[in-house]
Amino acid sequence: MTLNKNQIKYLRKMSHTQKSLFQMGKNGLTPTFMGQIDSALERRELVKFNLLQNSDESLEEAAHAIASELDAVVVQTIGSTAILFRQSSQVKYQILSQKVKAL
């Protein structure tokens, strides 16, 4: 899925009020962490997570690895925070993606 500038701008605006749901630390990208992000993306479609200082991963690498693994899009990486978007497969959770498609 590719997003145009207006869609990315809208998603950044929507994520601004959200708090980070997850923190990635020294354990890195574990299957449990990936599963939690996957289930959160399925229900919320927009997920924000932080990279802690004790992590060996870089934020860019971690965000793109998660996005490619879970078929998501990296909306933004800033500081130690990354924002991911993926359209939900269930219609009842596709509230945000319907608005994004309209842009």
Residue 1 confidence (pLDDT) above 80: no
Residue 2 has a pLDDT of: 82
Q: How far apart are CA 14 and CA 23, in angstroms?
A: 20
Domain count, the chain: 1
Residue 27 has a pLDDT of: 87
Residue 61 has a pLDDT of: 92
Q: Is residue 71 in some structural domain? A: yes
Residue 38 confidence (pLDDT) above 90: yes
Bridge-based pairing of strands 46-51 and 22-24 is: parallel
* pTM, to two decimals: 0.90
Parent domain of 25: 5-98
Please name the residue ranges forming H helices in 1-103: 5-16, 31-44, 59-70, 95-102
Q: Is residue 103 in some structural domain? A: no
Q: What is the DSSP letter of 18?
A: P
* CATH code of the domain covering residue 19: 3.30.110.60
For residue range 40-90, list pLDDT tens digits in order: 999 999 999 999 998 888 999 999 999 999 999 999 999 999 999 999 999
Q: Is residue 23 in some structural domain? A: yes
